[in-house]
Amino acid sequence: MILPIVAYGDPVLKKEAEEIDQNYPDLQKLIDDMFETMYHAKGVGLAAPQIGKSIRLFIVDGSPFADEEEDEPDPKAAGIENFKKVFINLIIEEESGDKWAFQEGCLSIPGIRENVHRQERVLVTYYDENWNFHEETFEGYAARIIQHEYDHIEGVLFTDHLSPLKKKLLLKRLGNISLGAISVDYKMSFPGNKKQRMI
């Protein structure tokens, strides 16, 4: 089932999300719905707050970053074609490496892309959808997607990393997103339109 994606301005996107345990009801159904929703919107990551659930769960599929046509393989894309995962209660234990800039976008903020600087590598701990515990290191685009999605479960958006000037320049466009005064080709719920609120 395709779920509406919560737009910028909804308070659920600014909230620190709660851990879940194995008793969380219908978790597999929620995960399946999130993948369907993410693929429909052509995203590479989707966090539960973006579908209105304030829990520490996000999914990723980085395969669109696999650049098969390039002669020179992009080192940041190493392993990305198999980077389809479910992360539950993830913790970033350590970030390392140089900061690099990348134009990030977000399904909750359609039409806006801006450079965000983040470190190259993350050491994380998490549970997968079968409640197996993992400690793993990710780099390049995989690390980037994790850092962006982890921000979502912390109540942080990529626009929060921008300079005050950049934010000021985006104010009007962000306001239009909250009001639903944009054209977008996937299902969304806009905080400016109370009827569509789904929490």
Q: Which is nearer to Ni ion, 66 or 107 (CB)?
A: 107
Q: Which is nearer to Ni ion, 22 or 62 (CB)?
A: 62
* CB of 107 vs Ni ion, minimal distance in Å: 6
Q: Which is nearer to Ni ion, 27 or 51 (CB)?
A: 51
> Which residues lie near Ni ion (CB under 5 A)?
106
With CB atoms as reference, the residue minimizing the distance to Ni ion is 106
- Residue 127: what residue type? Y
Q: Helix, strand or coil for residue 41? A: coil
* CB of 4 vs Ni ion, minimal distance in Å: 15
Tokens of 23: 């008793």
59/45 Cα distance (integer angstroms): 6
* CB of 99 vs Ni ion, minimal distance in Å: 19
Active site residue 19: no
56/22 Cα distance (integer angstroms): 13
Alpha carbon of 8 to those of 112, 128, 131, 190: distances in Å?
11, 28, 31, 8
Catalytic residue among 16, 94, 149, 154: 149
Residues with catalytic function: 149
